[in-house]
Amino acid sequence: MKEFLSVADLCEVLNVSKSTVHKMSSKGTIPVYKPEGTKLIYFYGEDVLAYFFKGRIPSKAEVQEQTLKDLSSLKV
C-alpha cells in the first residue's frame, strides 16, 4: 500500500464511492491530511489499515479460546 492515498486510491482500496470517502472524512471516521493552500485531501496508509482492522470480528475459535482463558483465570 502507498504511504499516502488520494480519494480515488482509498475508493479502490475500500471498494466504496467517492461520496462515501468524503462522508467518512467529514465525519472524522478516518483521519485526513489536507496540504495547506489546496482543496485536495489525502489519507495516510497506516491510518487506513487501522480503520480497516478496527472492524475485525474474531472467529468462533478465537472467541472460544479467549473464553477458556478468561474462565481459567477466575479464582474459585
Residue 48: how many other CB atoms lie within 10 Å:
20
Report how far apart, in Å, the C-alpha atoms of 15 and of each of 12, 52, 66 are: 5, 12, 32
Is residue 75 predicted with pLDDT exceeding 80? no
Q: Amino acid letter at 60? A: K
Please list the residues that pair with 5 across neighbouring strands.
Answer: 43
Q: Amino acid letter at 45? A: G
pLDDT, tens only, 8-62: 999 999 999 999 999 999 999 999 999 999 999 999 999 999 988 888 889 999 9
Counts for the chain of helices (H) and strands (E), in that order: 4, 2
Is residue 76 predicted with pLDDT exceeding 70? no
Question: What's the pLDDT at 30?
Answer: 92
